[in-house]
Structure 1
Amino acid sequence: MAKWPKQSMVDSFYGNPRGENGEVDPDWLSDNIIRIAPPWKIITAWDFKPVKSIKVHKKCADSLQKVFSIIWNNAGMQQDKINEWGMSLYAGAFNFRMMRNGTRLSMHSWGCAIDFDSARNSFGDKTPNFALIPQVLEAFASEEWTWGGNWRTPDGMHWQAANI
């Protein structure tokens, strides 16, 4: 049995985040979204401001912490290596929104997706930088997170705790 649900089953696994008027349900939000922090320093990929913690669903938080621990160990616990790989450039996690050019909610809406280093791993880029960093790919794969860099239209910055 897979660790994570199929995208079509995320409501039954993570709960329904939809509230009124196209907004996130505030009760769902307070019951399910928690903050975690990687063991290295991160900054926003768009304005390079420090980020203290990341909002994710409580059901995938421990798994993501394990991924971060593996990545940190693979980097020799060196911030310079994390920076080189692009794992210090946080590009988003929980965000209640629609998929890009879509009519369905993004996996970010359930807090089960995370993005890093959007500049070097942009949506549609068939040669994402993370493809060259097995230490990162293997860490996410060890916890069965799906990487968007393998999709028909690649999204190399994106990992999700949901299967296609």
Structure 2
Amino acid sequence: MSGGWEADAEALRRARPRHVLFLCVANSARSQMAEGIARSLAPATVKISSAGSAPSSLNPLAVRALDEIGLDIRGQRSKRVDDVPAGDVDTVITLCAEEVCPVFLGRARRIHWGLPDPAGAGSTEAERLQAFREVRDELRRRLSAVFPPGP
């Protein structure tokens, strides 16, 4: 899909996905935040997952940034892309910007929303937390367009 993230979000909203997978490399920050935000916005009938090509662990600043908006992702864990059943996923959203995104081999609609890795931003914890907040807010803006509040 192309035409900017707005066009992608509109097409995805109209497609009514059943299982959305967010992918990045470490599955510790962007994709974890996207998973938590999407779960809070999507209808209960939509399965939301995240994974990475080289998973590490959930970044504490991702947890903190989502805590600030009332979302608790402490129960999420980093997963390998191979841990997600490929036949179940109908939409993949890659979030990598400065690194090579993982490849998803299943048949699925593919969208790329390149966002900077907040874990690599800034030299202080305060600067990194601000980077996490900025990515969080952008993810929430985009995912709210995909999963708008009901009537």
TM-score normalised by the chain length of structure 1: 0.23
Larger helix percent: 2
> Greater relative contact order (Cα 8 A, min sep 6): structure 1 or 2?
2
Larger Rg: 1
